[in-house]
Amino acid sequence: MKADPEIISRDLAATDEFIIMASDGLWDVISSQDAVNMVRGTDYAQSPHLSASRLVESAYQRGSMDNITVIVIDLRSHHI
């Protein structure tokens, strides 16, 4: 089976807060906006790991049967 990744390329802006990189196990059951809202509901600057863990748990609770991999990258503390 051949994997066809979805790749989006764009320049980062000073107003960008974070990046969510995830496998389809997350995106199959959670919309992009819901994922953003969940990350914003945590203190992702202090713990991007906790934000990612909450997304994984939520996808699992919503019935995802695929592998679920999530990385949250905080951009607020970096200068672009």
Q: What amino acid is encoded at 42 in this protein? A: T
Contact 55, 41 (CB under 8 A): no
Phi, then psi, of 48 in degrees rounded to 5 = -60, -30
User: Looking at residue 1, what is its pLDDT?
Assistant: 66
* Model confidence at 72: pLDDT above 80: yes
The secondary element (H helix, E strand) that includes residue 20 is: strand 18-22
User: Looking at residue 78, what is its pLDDT?
Assistant: 54
DSSP-based helix, strand, coil % in the chain, nearest 5: 35, 10, 55
Q: What is the pLDDT of residues 52-62, one digit of tens each?
A: 999 999 999 99
The pTM of the full predicted model, rounded to 2 decimals, is 0.83
* Model confidence at 44: pLDDT above 60: yes
User: Looking at residue 43, what is its pLDDT?
Assistant: 79
